[in-house]
Amino acid sequence: MYTLRVLLNRYWLMQQTPFSPIRWHDNHLYLLDQRLLPEKQQELVCQTLEQAATAISDLVVRGAPAIGITAAYAVYLGFRQSRQDPAYDLDAALEFLTKARPTAVNLAWAVSEQKKILQVESENTAEMLLVNAKKIHVKDIEHNQLMGDFGAELIKPGSRVLTHCNAGALATGGYGTALGVIRSAWAAQKLECVFASETRPWLQGLRLTAWELAQDGIEVDVITEGAVSSLFSQQNIQWVIVGADRVCANGDVINKVGTANLAILARHYGVSFMVVAPLSTIDTATESGELVPIEQREQSEILGTYYQSENRVSAWNPVFDLTPAGLVSALVTEKGVVLSPDKQKITDHLRLK
């Protein structure tokens, strides 16, 4: 039973970690600005829904679960704004929020969860929204720890693993999905070595994953994307472990661009491929990955300042790609493990109590 007292106690415990990607304090939302890591640890303070939505779209906060948590708090901020300003259009604001990062299904899920509260008129709506946002936050960390343990059970002692992008505490409420498995496996002394791809063009693997693991005392080797084939052929890797921004009904995975490359190479070299994602990331309304719109980001993220005045040079910059379900060895959720996931297995998994 999630009473306010229980939530506050658990929420206080969450703040005792070495860093907190998302904090709620004194009626303000604090987001660790991931654009500045690892050089600087600085928080961005959000007092309005619009500030939180912009933080999502500008990559201050990133990772599907973290985006969902941020959105949940943002709905509360928007409701508070609507009570302070009768002219404030909350419906339009919620639509603006939902469009901040459309590929990450957790965003729409969190807004939908908060809308259920908004649809019931109550004098306690504001308190209910805030309690629910904190519940989503706390449950995410609890689920991450469960996924970490479930995924670690698949890993044999002495294993060497590779992860891509950042699916750690920074991408969630804390602990992490893919990095949660790595944390649990490391604590169980099952890992001989951890590799992280640098992850172009924003270098989340280099800037964020390597930084996170170092904070926890976990040794990590960073590699370029182009070195993955050589890594698989020379370093005896057992698992690729990644998160997901969306898992479709048939098991197709939408994740940071470059994930599909890893899955294809892993299959060629006989390396197992693990996707770690909470149930809120499973999109049963979308049959397959081909139906998911892939977000295109600014060309400047790739081109930098080199070609600002050269109209013959442009860039194609999709931020996600599609990994077919047939390339996934295991899908790990807070309910357990789905081996070789497909539509029927995922449907059965969702029915588990």
Q: What is the DSSP letter of 29?
A: E
Structure tokens at 214: 């170092």
Exposure b/e, 183-204, CB count within 10 A at least 16 = b: bbbbeeebbeebbbbbbbbbbb
Looking at 39-172, list the stretches that DSSP marks H as alpha helix, in order from N- to C-terminal side: 49-57, 64-84, 90-98, 105-118, 125-153
Residue 232 is predicted with a pLDDT of 98
296 closest CA partner among 164, 201, 197, 206: 201
4-143 matches 144-350 in fold: no
Residue 10 is predicted with a pLDDT of 45
Residue 90 is predicted with a pLDDT of 97
Return the SS3 of 240: strand
Return the SS3 of 32: strand
Spell out the CATH class of 4-143: mainly alpha
pLDDT in tens, the chain (353 residues): 445 544 444 444 444 456 789 999 999 999 999 999 999 999 999 999 999 999 999 999 998 899 999 999 999 999 999 999 999 999 999 999 999 988 778 999 999 999 999 998 889 999 999 999 999 999 999 999 999 999 999 999 999 999 999 999 999 998 999 999 999 999 999 999 999 999 999 999 999 999 999 999 999 999 999 999 999 999 999 999 999 999 999 999 999 999 999 999 999 999 999 999 999 999 999 999 999 999 999 999 999 888 877 789 999 999 999 999 999 999 999 999 999 999 999 999 999 86
Distance between CA atoms of 37 and 208, rounded to whole angstroms?
A: 7
Amino acid at 25: H
Q: What are the structural domain ranges in the chain?
A: 4-143, 144-350
The active-site residue, picked from 245, 252, 283, 321, is 245
Residue identified by tokens 């791809």 is 197
CATH number of 144-350: 3.40.50.10470
Given a contact cutoff of 8 angstroms between Cβ atoms, the answer to whether 272 and 294 are in contact is no
Residue 12 is predicted with a pLDDT of 45
Residue 66 is predicted with a pLDDT of 94
pTM for this prediction? 0.86
Given a contact cutoff of 8 angstroms between Cβ atoms, the answer to whether 172 and 233 are in contact is no
* 245 is a catalytic site residue: yes
